[in-house]
């Protein structure tokens, strides 16, 4: 009696499951298509690109576009490829991520465990910072950088990113630290530990998940930033995104799509790598709840 019914539901189950997978694969394909096109195009030569279709495979695998994009393509009047700008980006991103993460951690620690008069207001004000569009702070920031004497420098860009990012990092850390019982800090204070000792010995060691989340978030944001880069960088401090834009817009003779594509992939590689390496922790960190102890 129950068997046919059961068989029916399994058949239905199978169909549903099939549909589900079909949909997932289709969606994955849609998301992957641009990247596949970029990759294929970067491996073709200019002739093949002109004659073939977007998705046709390259006749022979040819990395010359990649080496040109890396070290020979012209970005404006300079013809040194993406390499110098790639390193420029690292020079901006690494300190900016490190400083904004550290500041966010300390801010979050203070807001959730060392409440002071007005700390809630302070936090609310900081939250507003998350909603301020980039464009709004361009002019005031330009003035500030000029006034500080760090306009068009790497230090200047680092500062812009730290200032803009600290609202987000503080929010991340504050929410995470909110779940750490206040008694933990109280116990440590009675044990005789001070502000920084508690932070360093007790709070930081349990912060790994949120540090990973924040670092990934900040890294991606800052690496991918174009607006601040184009507005505040000097001639030789341009980040990779700005260089990519210049490379694509500079053409002598025919458009070299293969070089453009290779350059675009190069520009995207670090963020891609960060996700592949730490994506697991990212998801885990976002969903990590209370620190039980």
Partner 1 sequence: MASLVIENVKKRYGQTEILKGIDISIEAGEFLILVGPSGCGKSTLMNSIAGLEDVSEGRILIGDQDVTFSSPKDRDIAMVFQSYALYPNMTVAENISFGLEMRKVPKDEREAEVQRVADMLQIGHLLKRKPAQLSGGQRQRVAMGRALARRPKMYLFDEPLSNLDAKLRVEMRTEIKKLHQKLGTTIVYVTHDQIEAMTLADRIAVMKDGEVQQLGTPQEIYDNPTNLFVAGFMGSPAMNFIPAKVVEHSGSYALELQATQPTLVPFPSADSLKAYAGKEILLGLRPEMITEPQPHKEGAEFVVKADIDVEVIEPMGADTMVLTRISDAEVNCRCNPAYPAKANETIAMMFDTSKAVAFDKDTGQRIDN
Q: Which residue ranges make up the site for partner 1 (CB under 8 A)?
A: 181, 183-184, 186-194, 197, 201-202, 205-206, 291-293
Min separation Cβ 113 and partner 1, Å: 12
Smaller CB distance to partner 1: residue 202 or 268?
202
Smaller CB distance to partner 1: residue 177 or 223?
177
Smaller CB distance to partner 1: residue 188 or 267?
188
Smaller CB distance to partner 1: residue 13 or 191?
191
Smaller CB distance to partner 1: residue 47 or 183?
183
Smaller CB distance to partner 1: residue 98 or 291?
291
Smaller CB distance to partner 1: residue 177 or 232?
177
Min separation Cβ 126 and partner 1, Å: 23
Min separation Cβ 188 and partner 1, Å: 7
Min separation Cβ 199 and partner 1, Å: 13
DSSP secondary structure string for all residues of the chain: -HHHHHHHHHHHHHHHHHHHHHHHHHHHHHHHHHHHHHHHHHHS-HHHHHHS-TTPPPSS--THHHHHHHHT--BTTB-S-SHHHHHHHHHHHHHHHHHHHHHHHHHHHHHHHS--TTHHHHHHHHHHHHHS-HHHHHHHHHHHHHHHT-TTSHHHHHHHHHHHHHHHHHHHHHHHHHTS-HHHHHHHHHTT--HHHHIIIIIGGG-HHHHHHHHHHHHHHHHH--HHHHHH--TT---HHHHHHHHHH--SSS--HHHHHHHHHHHHHHHHHHHHHHHHHHHHHHH------
Min separation Cβ 262 and partner 1, Å: 45
CA distance 35 to 265: 8
Min separation Cβ 183 and partner 1, Å: 4
Q: Tokens standing for 84? A: 């110098």
Min separation Cβ 125 and partner 1, Å: 21
CA distance 3 to 18: 22
């Amino acid at each position: 009696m129950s068997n046919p019914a059961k068989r029916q539901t399994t058949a239905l189950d199978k169909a549903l499951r099939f549909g589900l997978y079909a949909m997932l694969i289709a969606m994955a394909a849609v998301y992957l298509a641009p990247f596949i096109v970029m990759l294929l195009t970067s491996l073709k030569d200019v002739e093949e690109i002109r004659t073939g279709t977007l998705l046709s495979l390259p006749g022979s695998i040819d990395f010359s576009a990649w080496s040109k994009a890396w070290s020979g393509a012209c970005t404006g009047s300079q013809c040194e490829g993406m390499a110098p700008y790639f390193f420029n980006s690292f020079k901006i991103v690494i300190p900016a991520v490190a400083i904004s993460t550290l500041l966010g951690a300390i801010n979050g620690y203070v807001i959730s465990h060392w409440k002071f008069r007005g700390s809630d207001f302070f936090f609310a004000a900081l939250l507003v910072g998350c909603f301020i569009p980039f464009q709004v702070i361009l002019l005031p920031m330009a003035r500030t950088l000029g006034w500080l004497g760090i306009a068009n420098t790497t230090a200047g860009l680092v500062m812009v990113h730290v200032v803009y990012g600290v609202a987000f990092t503080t929010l991340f850390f504050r929410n995470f630290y909110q779940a750490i019982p206040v008694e933990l800090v109280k116990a440590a204070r009675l044990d005789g530990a001070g502000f920084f000792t508690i932070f360093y010995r007790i709070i930081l060691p349990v912060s790994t998940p949120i540090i990973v989340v924040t670092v990934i978030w900040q890294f991606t944001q800052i690496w991918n930033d174009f607006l601040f880069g184009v507005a505040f960088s000097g001639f030789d401090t341009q980040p990779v995104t700005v260089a990519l834009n210049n490379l694509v817009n500079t053409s002598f003779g025919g458009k070299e799509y293969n070089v453009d594509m290779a350059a675009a992939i190069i520009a995207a590689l670090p963020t891609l790598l960060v996700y592949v390496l730490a994506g697991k922790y990212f998801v885990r960190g976002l969903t990590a709840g209370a620190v039980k102890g």
